[in-house]
Amino acid sequence: MQRQSEHERTEILVFENNAVCQALFGAQNGNLKIITRELHVRMDNRGGEVTLCGEPERLQLALNLIGQLYDLVDNGFPLQSRDINHAIRILRKNPETRLASIFQSKVDIVSGGAGKIIGPKSPAQKAYMDCIRENDLVFSIGPAGTGKTYLAMAMAVYGLLQKAYKRIILTRPAVEAGEKLGFLPGDIAEKVNPYLRPLYDALYDMVDLEKAQNWIQQGTVEVAPLAFMRGRTLNDSFVILDEAQNTTQEQMKMFLTRLGYGSKAVVTGDVTQIDLPDHQKSGMIHAGRILQGIEGIEVCRFTHADVVRHPLVRRIIRAYDREEHLRDVEKEPN
């Protein structure tokens, strides 16, 4: 380790369980390398002893992070390298946050002999999953990459496997084709498939391909365009309406009134990416406004800070937000 400057401090952490340390440090100390790179601290480890050196504020964050991650791993959490980045972002925003309260709020999806653990990666995602558990209708509004659809799908699959629901219904508006799909080649399934592909992708990521295809063939999982929901009553179902910013007010009312006994609905969308014609107003914005405060309905909102994709995605969203804000300012009358 380099010699420390006059502005730096050195701290030593000693851990008792070498097996936990190995899981925490990662293969070839990969996790520690992420921490040193992101927090600009220097680190050296020998067995269960970690020596850290850096500026006081960065050093304190690193100590907090490593201590909490050790406790998570010691309690059986399967730490992955991407969790390190999520944890750093959370503690930077609020050093008082207990990572265990977020990362251990998970669902265990077991299917076909294989298991997948899916949990929140930010306080907003944890609040979202709690909202889904506690309410029958949840609106999830925020930018791409915040896990809106993926976590809703995880909760749906978990509920189906726990027999809380008899089926999962996944739907989204096919706005780009104006719900008029006749000019596209193929049968109706082939016509709408491009618009429903993201929902299939999320499902296939959680259960093996054969299981997912069996569910779809048996009708246990139904993936259909929003237009096909008209006139139906959806009982004992977990229903996800994706890309809901592209529903009209009439379509949204139609969808919400399909909900039957024993069912739960999650409505997801990004109100900054509305593809409706200029004369039509988004049904999601309208519903989110008039239904807020009704018992059993909750509105969850995400920001660019909750994006869990590549770090560049957060920067891209911030850049677009700044540009749109400047454009709005220029439109304001003097």
In percent, how much of the chain has pLDDT > 70?
A: 86
Q: Is the distance from CB of 243 to CB of 276 less than 8 angstroms?
A: no
Return the biggest CA–CA distance within the chain. Answer: 73
User: How confident is the model over 146-161, as pLDDT tens digits?
Assistant: 889 999 999 999 999 8
Backbone region of residue 236 per phi and psi (left: phi > 0; alpha: psi in -120 to 50; beta: other values):
left
> What is the DSSP code (8-state) at residue 8?
-
d(CA 169, CA 260): 13
Give which of 306, 253, 245 is closest to 280, Cα–Cα: 245
Q: Which residue has the higher pLDDT, 315 or 169?
A: 169
292-320: b (≥16 Cβ within 10 Å) or e: eeeeebbbbebebbbbbeeeebbebbeee
Class of residue 136 by CB neighbours under 10 A (exposed 0-12, middle 13-18, buried 19+) = middle
Amino acid at 245: Q
Give which of 205, 223, 222, 78 is closest to 154, Cα–Cα: 205
Average pLDDT over residues 78-82: 82
Q: Which residue has the higher pLDDT, 221 or 111?
A: 221
In percent, how much of the chain has pLDDT > 90?
A: 31
Class of residue 1 by CB neighbours under 10 A (exposed 0-12, middle 13-18, buried 19+) = exposed
pLDDT the model gives residue 141 = 93
pLDDT the model gives residue 330 = 65
In angstroms, how far is CA 294 from the centroid of its own chain?
A: 24
pLDDT the model gives residue 321 = 74
Give which of 44, 38, 148, 26 is closest to 92, Cα–Cα: 38
Kindly write down the DSSP assignment for every residue of 232-301, as one continuous string: --B-SEEEEE-SGGG-BHHHHHHHHTTB-TT-EEEEEE-TT---S-TTS-BHHHHHHHHSTT-TTEEEEE
Q: Is the distance from CB of 210 to CB of 112 less than 8 angstroms?
A: yes
d(CA 253, CA 293): 17
pTM here?
0.74
How is residue 13 written in tokens?
A: 């952490």
3-class secondary structure per residue, 188-232:
HHHHHHHHHHHHHHHHHHHCCHHHHHHHHHHCCEEEEEHHHHCCC
pLDDT the model gives residue 113 = 43
User: How confident is the model over 292-310, as pLDDT tens digits?
Assistant: 889 999 999 998 778 876 6
Average pLDDT over residues 30-49: 86
Give the least confident one: 125-129, 263-267, 297-301, 309-313. 309-313
Give the least confident one: 16-20, 149-153, 309-313. 309-313
Mean pLDDT for all residues in the chain? 83
d(CA 44, CA 1): 7
| Element of type H or E holding 331 | helix 311-331
> What is the DSSP code (8-state) at residue 113?
T
